[in-house]
Amino acid sequence: DVKVTQSSRYLVKRTGEKVFLECVQDMDHENMFWYRQDPGLGLRLIYFSYDVKMKEKGDIPEGYSVSREKKERFSLILESASTNQTSMYLCASSLPGKAAEAFFGQGTRLTVV
Amino acid sequence: DQQVKQNSPSLSVQEGRISILNCDYTNSMFDYFLWYKKYPAEGPTFLISISSIKDKNEDGRFTVFLNKSAKHLSLHIVPSQPGDSAVYFCAAAEMYSGGGADGLTFGKGTHLIIQP
């Protein structure tokens, strides 16, 4: 079974802090994605990566950056956390050509106070 | 502008009956469509998909129908069971011939409630 693991289930951070959300997948998938889920807005793509050291902006990249130094790991970085970044963050991975059938992690509920 | 729309935020269905969840899309370049199911505090899990070359795909109790001319798809669950209570997300993608894809575009979700 594909496993996508996010390092934290729940996080509470202060406004202005630098926040790292880590994601690891164990199926040698090329594609990795970061989404956020908000009530009434569904899932929105923040950033994605189709190879090591490659990254592409999604629909809502403002306030975020990413890092993909190793194939299995994709990190989402909030340079200076703000309260409007309080959300459920979901990491996903997939094979090339199968990007649609993405496997998701369990999510990280981030609260910025 | 929302490219994938789920116009019903919630749907209540009696156990044993058919649940029908609807989804509309506006981008004619989408050629692959999926349904994901999400329980609270968990990540979405892939449920069923359909390519634009088909108009129906069936997997057990779940059937997805695609009407390309109307840019509409629907998910049928029959019979509905209590464990089906969850949020269902419709998603769409453009599957490039080169094998890459820039992620999924999701609808806002429909909360399905199965009543005993």
pLDDT tens, position by position, B48-84: 999 999 999 999 999 999 999 999 999 999 999 999 9
Q: What was the pLDDT predicted at B40?
A: 87
User: Does residue B41 or residue A28 have the better pLDDT?
Assistant: A28
- pLDDT one-digit tens code per residue, A24-42: 999 898 889 999 999 888 8
Structure-token match 């629909």, residue found: A59
CB–CB contact A42 B109 (8 Å): yes
- Edge to edge, the sheet with strand B62-67 lists B4-5, B19-25, B72-77, B62-67, B56-59
Q: Which residues contact B63 (CB under 8 A, 6 or more apart)?
A: B48, B56, B57, B75, B76, B78
Q: How confident is the model at residue B102 (pLDDT cuts 50, 70, 90)?
A: low
In the predicted structure, residue B97 carries a pLDDT above the cut 70: no
Q: Look up residue A58 and give its two tokens.
A: 């999604």
Give chain A's mean pLDDT: 92
Residues of A in contact with B101 (CB under 8 A): 31, 96-97, 99-100
Residue B57 buriedness (CB in 10 A; 0-12 / 13-18 / 19+): middle
For residue A92, the surrounding DSSP H or E stretch is: strand A87-94
Q: Look up residue B26 and give its two tokens.
A: 């506006």
Share of chain B above pLDDT 90, in %: 75
CB–CB contact B46 A99 (8 Å): no
d(CA B109, CA A70): 33
Q: What was the pLDDT predicted at B109?
A: 95
- Whether A61 and chain B come into contact, CB under 8 Å, resolves to no
Chain B, window 15-44: residues with a beta carbon less than 8 angstroms from a chain A beta carbon: 32, 34, 36, 41-44
Residue of A nearest to B107 (CA): A42
Q: Contact, A32 vs A96, CB < 8 A?
A: no
